[in-house]
Amino acid sequence: MKSSLRATLWVVAYFALVFAPVLLLFPQPRPEGREFWREVSVALGFAGLSLMGLQFVPTARLPFLANVFPLDTLYSFHHRVSITSMLLILAHPLILFIYNPFTLRLLNLLDAPLRARAGTLALLGLIALVGTSVWRLRLRLSYESWRVAHNVLAIGIAALAMYHILNVDWHTSVPRQRIFWIAWAIIWGGMALFIRVIKPWMMLQRPWRVREVRPERGESWTVALEPDGHQGFRFLPGQVAWLTIRRSPFSIREHPFSLASSAMASDHIAFTIRELGDFTSTVGDIKPGERAYVDGPYGTFDLDQHTGPGYVFIAGGIGSAPIMSMLRTMADRGDDHAVIFFYGNRTWDSIIFREELDELQGRLNLKMVHVLEDPPEGWEGETGFVTRDMLDRHLPADRSERVYFICGPIPMIVSVERSLRALGVPLSRIFSEQYEMA
Amino acid sequence: MEDLYARRIWQLTVVLAVALSLVFGFVQGR
């Protein structure tokens, strides 16, 4: 099936699932009608909860979903929709309190009925879940402890919310509504079970061994892994995998990184990781021979699904990792398509893969455009950031035919996409991936 | 490009959630 058709079907399924509980309210045999605002608040709560529960799906890393939509888009959608679900759910009690201030007594966690206490706790948990995600850095939560809390909170909130709506037992007293919610909750639980128990167990059966850890320019490290007792996996150049080192795959300590090695190398894979804090700053301590677990490959940011008569790569700093995978793969395949690589870095010395890129220019039809924020004295190349004028200077006449891959921080992606559009490049030829996605 | 579609889907989600809830309020409420 064509990937655009699969994507459309998934979007239709998304809307059907999110709004099923609200739509089911219409034709079902209704309990006695209540006040307008009370019914509006219930419908908002239903839509919000259904939307919240749906968040278990994109984050379960289901291969058939993660390989239809770009991984960073799935996660940015997850972020945006989670905040929306919190607001919809929050509107449910707020409308009740405004319409009938007497219901404020339901907030009393000591005296209120259990179903109300469950609802209050679920809402507080949801606010904590969204708050710790949006302000994780400001709260100085490490990525690892945030992920553990995120998982525990998500499951706890879902359980409390289900207890709340099934025990309020008004609209959910109608069998079809009740059956829908129970089935939907079983799917949420199934997703949590898959990502936290089944998938780690599968990873445990397919361990990897660290073959090499080598320092790179720009405070980065390349970690090469080889499969330990199995065949490894094939990936498409540019894809992502989740890496766990020195921990059990059950420990919720995995990190997503782009595969940087050639997709043609079947005996090993490699990640290049920049020291940015938390786990990434300990990569240099990893020793050859250590055990690792890899979950992947994922994502649609890859060369093989988006072929064209020529390519333009635009990356900032460690955003070059998936681009290196593409270039190394092209070199191994003897691919002579024309490539221009705009590569932004702070200084000349911090250019990761600098020497290898020099060498690749001799093997590939590759033109490098280094862009330095802080150039050395006498530098005659490009400086600052990748701008529209800069792109215009270097892009060839067939610019609108080429396929563009952009990887870097969000402001860079937004700015470059805007410039490319202004230069007449169709949106359908531009693919991007953000650094920070999960 | 995909992010643009994702944003549209999100916007439609918000609009539908509010609109359907209000319609249900009119149909069911008194």
Which of B10, B16, B24, B27 is the best substitution to test chain A (most A C-beta atoms within 10 A)? Answer: B24
Inter-chain residue contact B20 with A37, CB threshold 8 Å? no
Read off the pTM: 0.86
B19 interfaces chain A, CB cutoff of 8 Å: no
Would you say residue A359 lies in a domain? yes
The one-character DSSP state at A375 is P
* Chain A residue whose CA is closest to B26: A36
Q: Based on the structure, what is the number of domains in chain B?
A: 1
pLDDT 10s digits, A384-411: 999 999 999 999 999 999 999 999 988 9
B15 interfaces chain A, CB cutoff of 8 Å: no
What was the pLDDT predicted at B1?
58
SS3 call for A350: helix
Q: How many residues does chain B have?
A: 30
* A418 shares a domain with A316: yes
Would you say residue A305 lies in a domain? no
The answer on pLDDT for A252 being more than 90 is no
In this structure, are residues A261 and A327 in contact, taking their beta carbons and an 8 Å threshold?
Answer: no
Would you say residue A243 lies in a domain? yes
* A90 shares a domain with A11: yes
Lowest mean pLDDT of A165-174, A211-220, B16-25, name the range. A165-174
* A315 shares a domain with A251: no
* A30 shares a domain with A173: yes
Q: How far is B8 from chain A (nearest CA, A)?
A: 10
In this structure, are residues A398 and A310 in contact, taking their beta carbons and an 8 Å threshold?
Answer: yes
Domain range holding A321? 310-434
Nearest to A62 by CA among A192, A234, A183, A151: A192
Would you say residue A304 lies in a domain? no
* A251 shares a domain with A360: no
A299 interfaces chain B, CB cutoff of 8 Å: no
What was the pLDDT predicted at A438?
46
A430 interfaces chain B, CB cutoff of 8 Å: yes
Domain boundary among A143, A175, A203: A203
Q: What is the CATH number of the domain that holds A276?
A: 2.40.30.10
What was the pLDDT predicted at A253?
82
The phi, psi pair for A432, rounded to 5°, reads -135, 160
Would you say residue A396 lies in a domain? yes
pLDDT 10s digits, B1-30: 567 788 999 999 999 999 999 999 988 876
Inter-chain residue contact A73 with B3, CB threshold 8 Å? yes
Would you say residue A314 lies in a domain? yes
How many CB pairs (< 8 A) connect A and B? 85
* A212 shares a domain with A199: no
pLDDT 10s digits, A114-151: 999 999 999 999 999 999 999 998 999 988 899 899 99
* A328 shares a domain with A219: no
Burial (0-12, 13-18, 19+ Cβ within 10 Å), A221: buried
Sign of the torsion formed by the C-alpha atoms of A242, A245, A248 and A251: negative
What was the pLDDT predicted at A29?
64
* A409 shares a domain with A377: yes
Q: What is the CATH number of the domain that holds A342?
A: 3.40.50.80
Lowest mean pLDDT of A38-47, A78-87, A271-280, A385-394, name the range. A271-280
Inter-chain residue contact B28 with A39, CB threshold 8 Å? yes
Q: Which of residues 87-126 of A touch B (CB under 8 A)?
A: 88
Q: How far is A428 from chain B (nearest CA, A)?
A: 7
- Tell me the C-alpha distance between A402 and A422, whole Å: 15
* A148 shares a domain with A233: no
* A314 shares a domain with A282: no
Inter-chain residue contact A428 with B1, CB threshold 8 Å? yes
Domain boundary among A246, A264, A298: A298
The rounded percent of chain A whose pLDDT value lies above 70 is: 97
Q: Based on the structure, what is the number of domains in chain A?
A: 3
Domain range holding B6? 1-30
Would you say residue A395 lies in a domain? yes
* A249 shares a domain with A107: no
In this structure, are residues A153 and A125 in contact, taking their beta carbons and an 8 Å threshold?
Answer: yes
Domain boundary among A298, A332, A359: A298
* A28 shares a domain with A94: yes
Would you say residue A303 lies in a domain? no
* Chain A residue whose CA is closest to B10: A81
B17 interfaces chain A, CB cutoff of 8 Å: yes
